[in-house]
Chains A and B, each alone.
Chain A
Amino acid sequence: MSARASYALRDARGDAPVVIEVDELVTHYGERRILNGVSLSVREGEILVIMGGSGSGKSTLLRYLLALEQPTSGSVRILGVDVARAAPRQLYELRKRMGVAFQGGALFSSMSVGENIMLPLREHTDLDERTIQIMARLKLEVVDLAGFEHLMPAELSGGMIKRAALARAVVMDPKLLFCDEPSAGLDPVVAAALDDLILRLRAALGMTVVVVTHELDSAFKIADRIVVLDKGNILTIGSVAEVRASDNVRVQNLLNRKVEAEELDPDAYLRRLMGEGVGR
């Protein structure tokens, strides 16, 4: 897709219906706050990238977007379903419309690649075995893994595992695709190929995509909009250009891969680690 067409697509998203809506989401881990009143929305067909450093809360936010956690404060609505109030049956129906490619792939190690990809079809459809095999093979072709269906996950490289996970995530043609760190741990060439694959999948299947990553190059390449998280707060939301132009110091530090002075100060780090009273 040309840059012009890509921007036209981004502009068009303004009128598209909202498919994910997070409102004032607060979460705790013990006494520690992980998300501090996060609010955001995702429109149909867009690629939203959630960025942030380690401990920023992006993985926790993803678990809420996947309806794996029930919000106790604030709300999460996915495809019109309020996750906190949904009946198990509603969540079951909702999940059939979502696909996820986890960071490590999360392929079932006891099943071959083909069986992994066919599993959602076998569980959720009444299709005959031959049709299921054809559909799985088509999805494997989309991710350039045709012919690898008989291999076990342990026999695949890191990049192939991620592509197989993507194939499994889209095998039911979901409305929403979530990718957790799709290019983490991969060499730049394979990482770039995966980014292209995500763009291609969105174009071919018309899905809404939410990507969690800390890889800047990847985020700038695929995002329609970027959310920058820091210590459980949203620092900024906007297009790639808007985020790049942000005057927020922490956003700029993240973009320039700088570490805050406090985090570099070994004394401050030790004080935080051991508690304020130690050493007085």
Chain B
Amino acid sequence: MSAADRRTGPVRQIEQLGRLTVRGIEEVGYGAALLLESLFWVVVGRHRRQPVRLGAVVSEMMEIGIRALPIVSVLSATIGVMLAIQGIYTLKLFGAESRVTVGIALSITREFAPLITGILVAGRSGSALAARLGTMNINQEIDALRVMGINPVRFLVAPALLAMVVMVPALTFWSDFVGLLGAGIYVSLDLGMTLNAYSDRVIEVLKVDDLMHGLGKSVIFAALITLVAVVNGVSVTGGAEGLGRATTRAVVQAITAIVVTDMLFVFVVTR
């Protein structure tokens, strides 16, 4: 019997916990290294005659941003309407339903738009990126890049990261607009407030800081989605089954990271 077989239940569980902890730390470290290396290639790539190709960035931007517009619009409008319904219902208890605009404007721009956009992009583009890199890893395409003298981080990761960092805030800004519009339409129908009066009130309430709060968070979410997807994608082993596991893991980890980071961000910035 080997030494591993002789280990008792609790010892084995502690060993397993230790192994998972080390793996987690390794993945965080790898993610940080990927971020730095991507930034390195963005800054000095052209000087080294190995630029991050604009065409690749634009192609990623189309996939991450433009093609996500319909679903972001639908979800943002729905959440806007939902917030308006809940806000009016709650404020009616105090007879202050006309003040609902304040709650809607602040919660959409500071919280809901970046959060819903981040979660949506994680599910849509983060999973796609993890699956693409995982497939490339299984098919030795990443090895092929390395042997061709093409740095995979410059060629695959940096364009995705750049596109994500531009498009997630852009989508968040769009989500702000559509969410506020959806809420405004409901408020105007329910409370008889005109859309003009509603938008004047929103503009009066909102400060640049509120918008920047949401957009700033979305930049962090963008980096998190990319790095989590890449770390999971390139570590795929075990064929199709492993690929499915890694893709699911990438989405779950990215959404968890987004929610936890959001809470920390709000804690630090708002209090």
Contact = CB atoms under 8 A, between A and B. Distances in A.
Interface of A: 66-68, 92-93, 95-96, 98-100, 102-104, 106-110, 119-120, 123-124, 178, 275, 277-278
A79 to B, nearest CB: 13
B140 interface: yes
16 contacts: A93-B149, A95-B146, A96-B149, A98-B147, A100-B148, A104-B140, A106-B141, A106-B143, A106-B144, A108-B141, A109-B135, A110-B132, A120-B149, A123-B50, A178-B147, A275-B1
B196 interface: no
Contact of A100 (B1, B136, B147, B151): B147
B139 interface: yes
Contact of A123 (B2, B146, B147, B150): B150
A58 to B, nearest CB: 15
Contacts of A109: 135, 139, 141
A68 B143 CA distance: 7
Nearest to A89: B48
A196 to B, nearest CB: 24
A92 B149 contact: yes
Interface residues of B, number: 18
Contacts of B143: 66, 68, 100, 102, 106
Contact of B2 (A92, A103, A120, A275): A275
A277 B149 CA distance: 48
A102 B137 CA distance: 13
Contact of A277 (B1, B50, B144, B151): B1
A275 B141 CA distance: 37
Contacts of A92: 50, 149, 151
B144 A123 contact: no
A104 B2 CA distance: 38
Given A109-B135, A275-B2, A277-B1, A123 B140 contact: no
Contacts of A278: 1
Given A277-B1, A277-B2, A66 B139 contact: no
Contacts of B146: 68, 95
Interface in B108-144: 132, 135-136, 139-141, 143-144
A124 B147 contact: no
Contacts of A120: 148-150
A102 B140 contact: yes
Given A106-B143, A108-B141, A109-B135, A123 B148 contact: yes
Nearest to A63: B143
A119 B140 CA distance: 16
Contacts of A68: 143, 146-147
Interface string B131-175: 010011001110110111111000000000000000000000000
Nearest to A103: B140
Given A123-B50, A275-B1, A275-B2, A95 B139 contact: no
Nearest to B2: A275
Interface in B1-43: 1-2, 5
B148 A95 contact: yes
Given A104-B139, A106-B139, A108-B141, A119 B147 contact: no
A66 B147 contact: yes
A238 B103 CA distance: 81
